[in-house]
Amino acid sequence: RKEVEQDPGPFNVPEGATVAFNCTYSNSASQSFFWYRQDCRKEPKLLMSVYSSGNEDGRFTAQLNRASQYISLLIRDSKLSDSATYLCVVKANSGYSTLTFGKGTMLLVSP
């Protein structure tokens, strides 16, 4: 089983749609979780951290289920500018080197 697995993409949605990204991780000792966004041929940028209680930032909601080792990202009212690849990132409980990136899921929002 891969350490961090994400939905294969791409996701094609119309503007205004709600889209959900799923991510599973294999290391039960993982402690920190993040969602990054990467535009085509650009660097990854931190979108949001994921907290145990779940967290929301505008149209974006992140959830964590430790029992199922599952993370999600929900985007409501999709915009054209949301088109990008979304990376799930997981960190184990100690050590700087243990940050693991998923391969990403591409989102394409169309007019």
Give the interface with another protein as residue ranges (CB under 8 A).
4, 32, 34, 36, 42-46, 49, 87, 91, 95-97, 99, 101-104
Considering beta carbons, is residue 64 or 87 the nearer one to another protein?
87
Q: What are phi and psi of 56, to 5 degrees?
A: -130, 140
Token duo for residue 88: 């799930």
What's the closest the beta carbon of residue 41 comes to another protein, in angstroms?
Answer: 8
What's the closest the beta carbon of residue 94 comes to another protein, in angstroms?
Answer: 9
Considering beta carbons, is residue 18 or 93 the nearer one to another protein?
93
What's the closest the beta carbon of residue 111 comes to another protein, in angstroms?
Answer: 28
Considering beta carbons, is residue 48 or 109 the nearer one to another protein?
48
CA distance 26 to 45: 24
CA distance 54 to 49: 10
CA distance 87 to 38: 7
